[in-house]
């Protein structure tokens, strides 16, 4: 079983965790797009089979709402779980994998040497609402201190491509500007994560809009969605 076309994120390999984002070549995983649902779900099923072949007995995804909530996956289920109205997943047990759908928003990968992990979908709303800081707080409460965590901010719209209103800029940075301006969403998330005590933070070089030939970008007009996937291999 092979994984779909993807950009590998090697940051967590030493901890037995595999991270990647799919690319345009893998096709869209968005269930709200124009492609027939049967083709989209076939892609999902192939991915779940690939994750299972890597030794995971459970895989989580969700319908996302640009909010601050994420699901903590405790024991007691296996297979493919699709939850409603959350923008991320966190877990302490190996054998767990999860995906978020993205196309400009940031896939936030969080890992711990134990195999505990989280993956979040963080656009400006989720960033302003503090979804990453709340995930870091969950890790802390679960016994995984922020300095022991590693964060990778995956392919997303870059600071040159992402123009926002003054209101959004203020919500993201706390600063005021007179008119529309560009903002670096991943830098804003990194600042917040550092503020929550995480020191080991990497930012992908990939911009979804600059590299629109390889990645789906909402701002570039794509209806397609790629996935960010984090796998804690059993």
Instruction: Return the range that interacts with Zn ion (CB under 5 A); candidates 37-45, 117-125, 138-146, 152-160.
Output: 152-160
Kindly state the smallest distance separating residue 158's Cβ from Zn ion, in Å.
3
Which of 98, 164, 207, 215 lies at the binding interface for Zn ion (CB under 5 A)? 207
The residue length of the chain stands at 234
CA-based nearest residue to 44, from 26, 32, 71, 56? 26
Task: Report the Cα 104 to chain-centroid distance in Å.
Answer: 11
Q: What whole-number distance in Å separates Cα of residue 145 and Cα of residue 136? A: 8
5 contributes a contact to Zn ion by CB under 5 A: no
Q: What whole-number distance in Å separates Cα of residue 17 and Cα of residue 10? A: 9
Which of 210, 212, 219, 234 lies at the binding interface for Zn ion (CB under 5 A)? 210
94 contributes a contact to Zn ion by CB under 5 A: no
158 contributes a contact to Zn ion by CB under 5 A: yes
Cα of first residue to Cα of last residue in the chain, in angstroms, is 17
Instruction: Return the range that interacts with Zn ion (CB under 5 A); candidates 3-11, 32-40, 53-61, 159-167.
Output: 159-167
For residues 105 and 198, which CB has a smaller minimum distance to Zn ion in the complex?
105
176: helix, coil or strand? coil
Kindly state the smallest distance separating residue 207's Cβ from Zn ion, in Å.
3
């Amino acid at each position: 079983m092979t994984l779909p076309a993807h950009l590998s994120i090697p940051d967590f390999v030493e901890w037995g965790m595999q991270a990647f984002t799919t690319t345009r070549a893998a096709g869209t995983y968005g269930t709200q797009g124009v492609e027939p649902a049967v083709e989209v779900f076939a892609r999902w099923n192939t991915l779940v089979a690939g994750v299972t072949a890597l030794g995971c007995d459970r895989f989580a995804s969700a319908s996302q709402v640009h909010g601050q909530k994420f699901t903590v996956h405790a024991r007691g289920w296996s297979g493919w779980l699709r939850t409603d109205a959350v923008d991320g997943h966190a877990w302490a047990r190996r054998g767990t994998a999860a995906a978020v759908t993205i196309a400009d928003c940031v896939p936030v990968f969080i890992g711990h040497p134990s195999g505990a992990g989280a993956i979040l979908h963080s656009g400006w709303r989720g960033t302003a609402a503090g979804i990453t800081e709340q995930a870091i707080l969950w890790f802390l409460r679960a016994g995984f201190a922020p300095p022991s965590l590693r964060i990778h901010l995956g392919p997303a719209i870059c600071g040159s491509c992402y123009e926002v209103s003054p209101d959004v800029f203020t919500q993201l940075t706390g600063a005021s500007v007179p008119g529309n301006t560009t903002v670096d969403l991943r830098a804003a998330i990194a600042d917040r994560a550092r503020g929550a005590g995480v020191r080991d933070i990497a930012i992908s070089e990939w911009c979804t809009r600059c590299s629109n030939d390889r990645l789906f970008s909402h701002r570039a007009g794509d209806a397609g969605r790629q996935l960010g996937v984090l796998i804690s291999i059993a």
